[in-house]
Structure 1
Amino acid sequence: MSDLPTHVNERTPLVNGNGSPSREPFTHRVMHVLKAEGQPSWLASYRYFLFGSWLNILLVFVPLSAVAHYSNWDAAYRFAFSFIAIMPLAALLGTATEQMSLELGDTLSGLLNASFGNAVEIIVGIAALMQGELRIVQTSLLGSILSNLLLVLGCSFFAGGCVQSESTFQATAAQAASSLMTLACITLVIPAAYHSASVHSGIDTPELLNKTLQIIDGSDLDDRAEYGLKVISRGTAILLLLVYIGYLYFQLGSHSHLFKPMDESRTEVETPLMNVPAAGVSLLAVTVVTSFCADYLVASIEETAERYSIPKAFIGLILLPIVANAAEHVTSVWMAMKNKMELTIGICVGSSIQIAAFVVPLLVIVGWITHHDLTLFFADFETIVLFVSVLLVNFLIQDGKSNYMEGIMLITLYCVVALAFWVS
């Protein structure tokens, strides 16, 4: 009879060759069940998750934001601490989502990105919705769309144009994405037009008309018109969600070839640095923590805006989206510099589509369920800003090429929009 092995390694079976139970500890066997062969260990996964970026140093502001909130510190401290805390949390959400996507395949990755790619926007939106801050909900979502379409895409085009004179990408896929973005934009124009027609037919005095410009839930209309606005918004929200599902199938299934890089040699095989269960647990944990920080942030906006004379529209449309999309900003610019423009277009335009065709309709339906009358009626000025932004992006990407001058155009428009909302 041969000698029994004197050590136990990861490949030791549960039963040894002589039929006796293995000496492998029970905890090791459990870990083997939770982690597939060849994937990083749980310890290695969390080491990368927590210490893989210098940005994680800012996680110290997570407990600080809670202390500031419950101790009722000055509004500036509460807002600043929560604002900074969300930055590393957004990056960690992106890291966990990316690591899960590497193992789950294209279809599940698409669904995962649809659910968690804009998790911060959803969390901030729901937190503001539950507190009745409908204007913050609308401006933060609109700001995320504009930030991705103008600032992030503009910086990416500019950075890519500084490395190579001209970058190319799949024009057909980009046009399909921008067309869906145009459709989502039009669905916001229709409620605004309906509201404008209803208001002008029922209000005569300019003073009362100016007052209604601050009301976005339709309560300034008569009962019949208010009901009509809610029906339009909720019906359109359901239709947009169905269109978004169809777009996912178009992108991941029937026409997936349109979204592949034009030069396959630019495609790199990435090695996962986290196992799927560890990434999933991390994703859920960070989502919960982010929800608390978002709640603290929204609770401090009103007082901060009043005390320091910062327009609430500027906070929601400019500041919050920059924080929520910080990780996407860096990734998109980096991919553009490496001439991976399909990924850049997917991050910028794809994220805007997720917000316009998935997150906004989702929050309208959540508001419907929770009796918070969020509608698709945005103020006329905001609707016009979104429309001209989508129009400019359509013009610039329709040829399937980009350069630094196109990036400058997009960044300039974003600065003009920021200036306009600062004085609004």
Structure 2
Amino acid sequence: MTSTDTTPLLGNGADGRSRRLSYKERIVGIFSIPEGQPGWIQSYRYFLLGSWSNVLLVFVPLSFISHNLNWDAGLRFSFSFIAIMPLAKLLGDATDQLSLKLGQTLSGLLNASFGNAVEIIVAIAALLQDELRVVQTSLLGSILSNLLLVLGCSFLAGGLMHDQNRFRTTAAQTSASLMTLACITLVIPAAYFMSQTIGEGGGLDPTKADQPGAIEERCKSGLLIISRGTSILLLLVYVAYLVFQLKTHARLFDEDGDDTEDCEDGQGLPRRHHSQDDVEEPEMAPITAGIALLLVTLVTSFAADYLVASIEETTERYNIPKPFIGLILLPLVSNAAEHVTSVWMAMKNKMEMTIGICVGSSIQISAFVIPLLVIIGWITGHDLTLFFATFETIVLFVSVLLVNLLVQDGKSNYMEGLMLIALYCVVALSCELPYVHPSRLPCAD
């Protein structure tokens, strides 16, 4: 009896031996439907009935109705907020089904990319409505959620299931270093602002919106130049990172790339061999998964637009700090699918995938999404900058610092997960206080 190799990374060469498929062959393979592939009816049945969270899809039409009938702002916000939760899960499901044919590295990249689809949609909707503070806080909140909450829960779950989890040090440190670079690019505009304001007669009071005058105009002009130039450089660095990850040094990010990798303690990281039982069979045909992905993204864009439109009135009527909504609430909803996937991968001891989802998603937001939105704002006449509030900049810096310290040894355990979760809880507690974030800062808009 002959067996069929179901591993998507391998094919048969002319000599009958297995060979590794190229990325082009993997992507082209998405559009081929082999025998036994699930039909479109079975695919959509799995897609719509495969999770109990899909019950919350009833809030999608409620979000549309409440917005068009101009119901109370709290209802409009709540309905749109809850509607995004199952939509984020569906985005994750469709992405996961597509990623089964792409291999681990591309799977992590695809999960990170479409896992950030909700954040990107919400940010673009807020940018076009000139809600620049919502753009900044929602994206920063997504970075913090991935680095602290999602990665912390993954380390905690993986540590409870296994005494110690190990991952490739070089790949993790490269990702963490790029995350540090992106963090520094947010610190520099804040340093520039402080140097300009403190140097003029003792500085400005950030709680007074009518004080800045000519100094604010000069500061804002300088911040725009710094932000736009930095954004272009970050986009170039991110493209280089993709080439590094997918082409030139793909073996560092692939769980099955090399037999061993030397760690700092001199011990080798053994290659993991997966049996056929570990190979997950797709429940959706690739084409139907792609169509579902596009449709859910479209519906999510409308729900996100309604959500952003109700934020201003909701914060005023119910006295909810706007930064708390951006930093905590929105990322909890939009990162739900990534959270589940990352924790599940950590429990299965697939830490390369976990690091790729959590840190990779944060890198994508900080080095690609935020710079891209600055450029889009430049084109559309919305002056979005890389200058964040001082509190937010410090929080991001210490979060990146803690993650760097924890991943540098290539090992994780449940105690490290608890550290990350504890820091996230401190940040959430701080964001609940209205006086921490003034509603308006000079040059922040």
Query: Same fold, TM exceeding 0.5?
Result: yes
* One of 287, 291, 302 as aligned partner of 2:301: 291
Q: How does 1:80-229 map to 2 (within 5 A)?
A: 80-104=78-102, 112-113=110-111, 115-202=113-200, 208-211=205-208, 221-229=215-223
Provide the C-alpha distance between the structure 1 equivalents of 2:343 and 2:235, rounded to a whole number of angstroms.
29
Most deviating of 264-273 and 162-171? 264-273
Q: What is the match of residue 5 of structure 1?
A: none
Provide the C-alpha distance between the structure 2 equivalents of 1:337 and 1:275, rounded to a whole number of angstroms.
27
Corresponding letter in the other structure for 2:385: T
* One of 259, 265, 269 as aligned partner of 2:273: 265
Call closer, same or farther: CA 1:369–1:50 in 2, change over 3 Å.
same
1:363 aligns with 2:373: yes
Call closer, same or farther: CA 1:161–1:106 in 2, change over 3 Å.
closer
Q: How far is the alpha carbon of 1:224 from its aligned partner?
A: 4.0
Instruction: Tell me the alpha carbon deviations over residues 356-399 of structure 1, each in whole angstroms, 9 at most, x when there is no partner.
Output: 11111111111111111001011111101000000000001100
Call closer, same or farther: CA 1:114–1:168 in 2, change over 3 Å.
closer
Provide the C-alpha distance between the structure 1 equivalents of 2:214 and 2:286, rounded to a whole number of angstroms.
50
Call closer, same or farther: CA 1:219–1:270 in 2, change over 3 Å.
farther
Provide the C-alpha distance between the structure 1 equivalents of 2:94 and 2:240, rounded to a whole number of angstroms.
26
Provide the C-alpha distance between the structure 1 equivalents of 2:214 and 2:228, rounded to a whole number of angstroms.
18
Provide the C-alpha distance between the structure 2 equivalents of 1:80 and 1:408, rounded to a whole number of angstroms.
30
* One of 373, 395, 404 as aligned partner of 1:385: 395
Q: Is the 8 A contact 1:35 1:275 kept in 2?
A: no
Q: What is the match of residue 234 of structure 1?
A: 228
Q: How far is the alpha carbon of 1:129 from its aligned partner?
A: 0.6
Q: Secondary structure at the match of 2:62?
A: helix
Corresponding letter in the other structure for 2:33: A
Q: How far is the alpha carbon of 1:160 from its aligned partner?
A: 1.3
Q: Secondary structure at the match of 1:365?
A: helix
Provide the C-alpha distance between the structure 2 equivalents of 1:333 and 1:251, rounded to a whole number of angstroms.
23
Q: What is the match of residue 364 of structure 2?
A: 354
TM-score (structure 2 length as normaliser): 0.82
TM-score (structure 1 length as normaliser): 0.86
Instruction: Tell me the alpha carbon deviations over residues 259-298 of structure 1, each in whole angstroms, 9 at most, x when there is no partner.
Output: 1225422583222222222112111111110010001111
Provide the C-alpha distance between the structure 2 equivalents of 1:294 and 1:227, rounded to a whole number of angstroms.
31
Most deviating of 38-47 and 312-321? 38-47
Provide the C-alpha distance between the structure 1 equivalents of 2:83 and 2:316, rounded to a whole number of angstroms.
22
Provide the C-alpha distance between the structure 1 equivalents of 2:158 and 2:356, rounded to a whole number of angstroms.
15
Provide the C-alpha distance between the structure 2 equivalents of 1:272 and 1:356, rounded to a whole number of angstroms.
32
Provide the C-alpha distance between the structure 1 equivalents of 2:425 and 2:41, rounded to a whole number of angstroms.
44
Q: What is the match of residue 21 of structure 2?
A: none
Count residues with an aligned counterpart: 387
Provide the C-alpha distance between the structure 1 equivalents of 2:274 and 2:198, rounded to a whole number of angstroms.
56
* One of 262, 282, 290 as aligned partner of 2:292: 282
Provide the C-alpha distance between the structure 2 equivalents of 1:210 and 1:107, rounded to a whole number of angstroms.
46
In structure 2, stretches of 5+ residues that fail to align are 1-30, 256-269, 437-445
Call closer, same or farther: CA 1:303–1:199 in 2, change over 3 Å.
same
Q: What is the match of residue 31 of structure 1?
A: none
Instruction: Tell me the alpha carbon deviations over residues 197-225 of structure 1, each in whole angstroms, 9 at most, x when there is no partner.
Output: 1222346575x44325x99xx99845443
Call closer, same or farther: CA 1:203–1:290 in 2, change over 3 Å.
farther
Q: How far is the alpha carbon of 1:111 from its aligned partner?
A: 6.6
CA RMSD of aligned residues (A): 2.2
Report the structure number with the largest CA radius of gyration: 1
Q: What is the match of residue 417 of structure 2?
A: 407
Instruction: Tell me the alpha carbon deviations over residues 230-252 of structure 1, each in whole angstroms, 9 at most, x when there is no partner.
Output: 11111111111111111111111
Percentage of matched positions with identical amino acids: 69
